[in-house]
Amino acid sequence: MRPRTLPLAVASSILGGFLAAADGLFNWLVTLLCVITAVFLQILSNLANDYGDSVHGADHVERAGPKRAVQSGLITSAQMKRAMALFAGLSAVSGLALVIVALGVAALPLVALFVVLGGAAIWAAVSYTASSKPYGYVGLGDLFVFIFFGWVGTMGTYFLQAQALNGLVLLPATSVGLLSVAVLNVNNIRDIESDQKAGKRSIPVRIGPQRARVYHWILLGGAVASALLFVGLTYRSPWQFLFGLSLPLLWRHGTAVARTTDPQTQPHAQTTLAHHPGLCLHFWSGPDFVARGLKTGRQGDRETGRLLQSLIPNLSLPLRVKFQEAAHQFCIALRPFQVDGVAGVRHDGQA
């Protein structure tokens, strides 16, 4: 099931939930169902990839990287197909429950739209390598990963809670989508030789290993640029730039990919990046909680209390008061560093 890929799968759903929380629209059950559905779809995709690459010849004894279950003989093709059917069913049931909980049966047009999107997600998970004409073999894997791991996952999760579109959400969705494509690109760089033999025309096969590494830097740079633009357009406090703490990890990863030529060492770089979207999303949305708390007096306390109530609806009043007081004290400590508008005046009176 490749558990190392699961943090990547849920990053966009959690990010969409945090963005909804930042707008005071968080629904924990909807976010949880989004995460569960994303996990089922990722497992389905992993199983289909194992099956499809074995059938089409991309997985063979000379292939670099981890051994695959069907190719190595751990399970048969028939057993893998049954596992794929199981997780396709689980994805469908979870997705349908998600749409009904979020929208209700009365919103039939929207329910139908998301049912179609869910069906498209299942098709994309299977057809990447396991169909008669797999789109991953003609170099379209990057595009589909960007759409489903970025835009659909993030904006879909946000919409199912807000029931409205926010154009700014497209920026963090783009950022996490580009990071997801970068994970795929690392794997494809590693598999260039075996993919060429199997006729799999991934992006690195088409442009070559050196240009694929340049393409990798473009993906990483685009992700950072999208995050910076999002913060700039939603600016409340310098603390929104906390996501910059994760940039050294991106730099380390990018240089590792650029300098590594041994396919056996590529998984280390892939693992480093696979957890990166989950790390970044906390910094993109979390600072809104701080920005709310930086408001002075009872207004800030009321907003913090409402946000806690939306995030943890069943939290008892005594615990919520303790959390609110801790957040209040934390925000008091940050107020000397808050910047008001363009004047650059700090709360301690210094310019």
For position 100, what pLDDT does the model report? 92
Strands in the chain per DSSP E: none
At 59 the three-state DSSP class reads coil
At 205 the three-state DSSP class reads helix
For position 173, what pLDDT does the model report? 93
Copy the structure tokens of residue 63. 């292939």
For position 311, what pLDDT does the model report? 46
Listed as ranges, residues in the chain with pLDDT below 70 are 1-3, 55-73, 261-351
For position 292, what pLDDT does the model report? 45
The CB density around residue 268, as the number of other CB atoms within 10 Å, is: 12
What is the Cα–Cα distance from 344 to 60, expressed in whole angstroms? 61
Copy the structure tokens of residue 114. 């998301």
For position 273, what pLDDT does the model report? 53
DSSP 65-80: SSPPHHHHTSS-HHHH
- Residue-wise pLDDT for 48-72, tens only, equals 887 777 765 555 445 555 555 566 5
pTM of this prediction? 0.74
Q: What is the DSSP letter of 295?
A: S
For position 347, what pLDDT does the model report? 38
Residue 174 and residue 48 in contact, taking contact as beta carbons nearer than 8 Å: no
For position 170, what pLDDT does the model report? 94
For position 317, what pLDDT does the model report? 61
Q: Please tell me the total number of residues recorded for the chain in this structure.
A: 351
For position 57, what pLDDT does the model report? 52
For position 89, what pLDDT does the model report? 94
